[in-house]
Chain A
Amino acid sequence: MATLEIKNLEKRFKQTEVLKGINLKINHGDFLVLLGPSGCGKSTLLNTIAGLENSDNGEVLIDSQKVNDMEPSERDIAFVFQSYALYPAMNVEDNIVFGLKQRKISKDKINQSLNKITELLKISELLKRKPAQLSGGQRQRVAMGRALVRDPKIFLFDEPLSNLDAKLRIEMRREIKKLHKNLKTTMVYVTHDQTEAMSLGTKIAIMNNGKIEQFDTPSNIYNKPDTIFVADFVGSPSMNFISGQIKKNNNSFSFLPDNEQENKSIELTNIDAALNNSQKVFFGIRPEHVFLKKEHAVRVTKDHNFIEIEVKPELHEYIGHEQIITFNYCGQEILGKFSSSVKIDIDKKMILFIDFNSVSIFDKDTKRRI
């Protein structure tokens, strides 16, 4: 259990800046997820926290103690690698206790810890086997065991589930979540999978190009994304973005989609942000917040704060329990997610209802309002 704080961390690989000034702070027992696309720097950040990479500038503090100059083994952390990194020539038991042996812990204590962990992870039959004789899921559990047995202040995970098949991944995800609930240890977890991030984390840091785009709770990241990148990255299918401009009329605003006449503009009520006339923006709404019938919209929004727009359905994708319809709105695409039981006529003009509270408006240079 420990706090983790990162101050102005910078790192360069030859000429490229990989981490451009990272700042974040988490408390005891937090589950921090570093989420982002390949190459955004999340693994590098994790390795720097662990001490496996050096930083060029900035500080890493574990429990308010600066650890920049400490070796990984001195930082009281445990690391689960993407490829599990089990020692190939040793059996499972030796793999798990290797770290303890290096710390010269007594044989009794080692056996105690070993037994506890093997029981917890249910790997007692595997103890004498070598990594090559284990399945992917078993190796994953052994890697977890090696980390758990250290009883560290912070657990670090580097995409531990990416090498598993889909079903196993979901199972192991739940195991990790249960682990966190029981141990209450601080955890930092790297992934590119946004579903994983949303379900596991108490705090998420979305990274892009070496910078943190947003550091917030999962719910805020989903409902109040700070930037277009965040809004687009989280959610499947991703958020719809309608390109257009703001029109100011005295004290009221409206949104006019590109290439459309004034009469098609959408009124924007209850805006508490500074908007300029002719400001270029993106109107963002998630497919889940688009409704077919007024009653649905009313049920969800509770207040009657919804917008009506005229659209024409063009494409229909059936995914089993739900369906995704692509609509044409003023020449731009809007995707809507509905239950499969609803029937929609393609190519026939209709009205869609949008939950205004869920709308995000982004300046074309990334900000957001509402």
Chain B
Amino acid sequence: MLNKKSLSRVFLFLILGIFVFYYITPLYVMIVTSLKTMNEIRDGNLFSFPNAINFDAWKIAWAGRGEGTSDTYLKPYFLNSLKITIPALIISTLLGAINGYALTKWKFKGANLIFLLFLFGTFIPYQAILLPMARTLGFLGISNSPIGLILVHTVYGLGFTTLFFRNYYVSISDEIIKAAKVDGAGFFKIFFTILLPISLPILVVTIIFQFTQIWNDFLFGVTFSFGEHAPLQVALNNMVLTSASVKYYNVDMAAAIMAGLPTLIIYILAGNYFIKGLTAGSVKG
């Protein structure tokens, strides 16, 4: 019956709409707050619009108030995060790709066990390795440095990247590899000329995943670095936590948005890939 159907459609959209509000509200609040002056914040409420769009808070969040002030601002830490994220992401992705390839297309004894160990490794709580890692970094002389964090993120990203590529390559026909072997191509030749060119989907997923993981990391950042070498999320938290007498909420919100912007932009541009990749991994387990 037309009536019943359209009624349930209305109900459907109502519920979906309510949830849109639920998810959007924090973002809205963040944006709106970051564009107000402190007076507007004190006078108004969470949801009220700014009288005029004011980017001052943003400027302060990014580059600080000028000399003489000791508060944190984001710019140097943003660069730190870039310095850490990009190398770690590249190394862990490449290694994951070649590992996934070797483990699936070249059956050798123990390949499955090795994969299992990698898989289990992705689930461990990092608390179980924080202490020994801190000591190791100190021992190697790279604690509180970008190299140290690059090492950490590469090492613990390997499990995920290997998992992604392994699952992807498993579904590629073995016969193509066999044909290449018959044609006389060796291990690396096959990888670079045949497999890599068709790996774009999983490369994108892995890169997005790794970028997000490393960029958004806080635990490793706060444990293995401090001061001027800290990554972005650590700086953000420090900024928000200052027990200074006056809290500049608009600056805090601007800073939070800036810290989240890169991953947010990547998500908006390539979100579908992101989701497909993640859910493919999880639904299969």
Which of B178, B189, B197 gathers the greatest number of chain A CB atoms within 10 Å?
B178
Q: Is B183 an interface residue (CB 8 A)?
A: yes
Please judge, given known A-B contacts A52-B182, A102-B184, whether A85 and B176 are in contact too, CB under 8 Å. Answer: yes
Which chain B residues border A98 with CB–CB below 8 Å? Answer: 180, 183, 185
Decide: B197 and A77 in contact? CB cutoff 8 A.
no
- Give the secondary structure class of B's interface: helix
A81 and B183 contact, Cβ closer than 8 Å, known pairs A88-B198, A89-B194: no
**B276 at the A interface (CB under 8 A):** no
A residues 63-109 touching B (CB-CB < 8 Å): 71-73, 77-79, 81-83, 85-90, 98-99, 102-103
Name A79's closest neighbour in chain B (CB-CB): B182
Number of interface residues of A (CB under 8 A): 23
Q: Does chain B have a CB within 8 A of A50?
A: yes
Compute how far the CA of A52 lies from the CA of B181 in the bound complex, rounded to whole angstroms: 8
Q: B178: nearest residue on chain A (CB-CB)?
A: A52
Chain B residue at smallest Cβ distance from A104 = B184
> Which of A71, A81, A99 is close to B178, meaning CB atoms less than 8 Å apart?
A81
The answer, yes or no, to whether B113 is at the interface (CB within 8 Å) is no
Rounded to whole angstroms, the CA-CA distance of A301 and B65 in the bound complex is 111
Q: Please report which residues of chain A, range 25-82, place their CB below 8 angstroms from some CB of chain B when the two chains form the complex.
A: 47, 50, 52, 71-73, 77-79, 81-82
Residue of A nearest to B189 (CB): A102
Q: Are A79 and B176 in contact (CB under 8 A)?
A: no
**Beta-carbon contact of B197 and A89 below 8 Å:** yes
* Residues on the B chain within 8 Å of A90, using CB: 193-194, 197
Q: Contact between A85 and B173 (Cβ–Cβ < 8 Å)? A: yes
A92 to B176, CA, bound (A): 14
One of B175, B184, B193 near A99 (C-beta < 8 A): B184
Shortest CB-to-CB span from A85 to chain B, Å, is 4
| Residue B18, interface by CB 8 Å | no
- Output the nearest chain A residue to B176 by Cβ-Cβ distance: A85
Q: Are B194 and A87 in contact (CB under 8 A)?
A: yes
| Pairs A–B under 8 Å by Cβ, sample size 28 | A73-B182, A73-B183, A77-B182, A79-B178, A81-B175, A82-B175, A83-B173, A83-B175, A85-B178, A85-B179, A86-B176, A86-B179, A87-B180, A87-B193, A87-B194, A88-B176, A88-B197, A88-B198, A89-B197, A89-B198, A90-B197, A98-B183, A99-B183, A102-B183, A102-B185, A102-B189, A103-B184, A146-B179
